[in-house]
Amino acid sequence: MCAATPMIEKFGAAIFSSPYFARKLTIPEYLFYPYIDPLSEKNRDLDESEVRRVCDDFGIDRSRPIVTQVSRFDRLKDPVGVVQAYKLARKYVDCQLVLAGGGERELPHDH
């Protein structure tokens, strides 16, 4: 039993992203796919100055709508499909395309 178990068992249920992470708790344990770790560095809130700096660095106009894909640059993520969707949307909305992400080495963080 880990030190956090008594605290976790005060809740109605626990959720896990894999059966391998599950523990034999006295409360129901559920699987949720896909999942996002709210405590991960990449999911933290950004402060205004950081947002402004990144937009300025990449020439992003914050007054216009953005079509974006945030993912690793991988064929499986269908970036071409995103570009095609952007081209469709652009006919109706004066928007800009932002492809944000990393390479293959990002893979372990996605899982």
Partner 1 sequence: MTIADRPSRVARKPFYFNTSAHLLRIGRERATTVSELLQGLRACSDDCIFQHTFRTLQEHHCIREGFSNNFAHWVSSAYHEPGLAERLASVDVREFTSIGAVRERIVQIVDTYLQCNPRSGERAAREPFHFHASDTVILPTPFVAHNHSEFIDGLGRVSVHSVHHHFIEARLRLHLTSNDFSLWLQEEADLKEAARCLTISTSTL
Contacting residues toward partner 1, per CB under 8 A = 16, 19, 22, 24, 28-32
Measured from the Cβ of residue 111, the count of other Cβ atoms closer than 10 Å reads: 8
Least Å from the CB of residue 80 to partner 1: 23
Query: CA–CA distance from 48 to each of 55, 97, 109 (Å)?
Result: 11, 21, 25
Nearer to partner 1, 23 or 90 (CB): 23
28/81 with CB nearer partner 1: 28
The smaller minimum CB distance to partner 1, of residues 16 and 73, is found at 16
Decide if 17 contacts 33 (C-beta within 8 A): yes
